């Protein structure tokens, strides 16, 4: 539904395990319309770099971040105890036209990430409503 594909439409999927110094930090599972990614096996490094070469790189995204306990499979992939806490992120990415390019579900190790956000409060937001 997030990709606005017909019920019988095909989906291209890629899964990646993100590492830093050989330590697994995140699992990313992206789904795209085959219109944007007809051959998922051609992605060898950056999905967005590939999409950029096709003139289909997203320009904006909406993410939802929540806490979730990892499944046994994902705990194993991230090398943490079963049911460990993680940051779960769902992201929908869009082209400039507003068309959805990508739907991604990611799991980030809870023991390795800290989420920080800056909020602007008050009337000095150049006409924005606070």
Its pTM stands at: 0.84
For the chain, domains (ranges, CATH) are 12-109 (3.40.1410.10)
pLDDT score at 98: 94
Residue 102, strand partner residues? 32, 93
The mean pLDDT of 63-85, rounded to a whole number, is: 96
Q: In which band, very low, low, confident or very high, does the pLDDT at 130 lie, cut at 50, 70 and 90? A: low
- Contact in structure between 14 and 48 (CB atoms under 8 Å): no
pLDDT tens-place string over residues 26-52: 999 999 999 999 999 888 889 999 999
What was the pLDDT predicted at 125? Answer: 60
Cβ–Cβ < 8 Å for 28, 108: no
Res 127: pLDDT: 59
Question: What tens digit of pLDDT does each residue of 94-122 get?
Answer: 999 999 999 999 999 999 988 888 888 87
Phi, psi of 72 (to 5 degrees): -60, -45
Residue 68 is predicted with a pLDDT of 97
Per-residue model confidence as pLDDT tens digits over 10-31? 999 999 999 999 999 999 999 9
For residue 98, what are its two tokens?
């507003």
Confidence of residue 124 (pLDDT cuts 50, 70, 90): low
């Amino acid at each position: 539904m997030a990709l606005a594909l017909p019920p019988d439409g095909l989906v291209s999927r890629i899964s990646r395990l993100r590492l830093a110094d050989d330590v697994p930090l995140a699992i990313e599972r992206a789904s795209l319309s085959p219109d944007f990614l007809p051959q998922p096996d051609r992605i060898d490094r950056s999905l967005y770099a590939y999409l950029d070469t096709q003139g289909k790189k997203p320009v904006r995204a909406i993410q939802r971040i929540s806490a979730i306990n990892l499944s046994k499979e994902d705990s194993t992939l991230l090398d943490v105890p079963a049911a460990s806490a993680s940051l779960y992120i769902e992201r929908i990415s869009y082209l400039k036209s507003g068309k959805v390019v990508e739907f991604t579900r990611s799991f980030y190790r809870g023991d390795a990430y800290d989420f920080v956000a800056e909020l602007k409060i008050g009337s000095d937001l150049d006409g924005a409503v606070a």
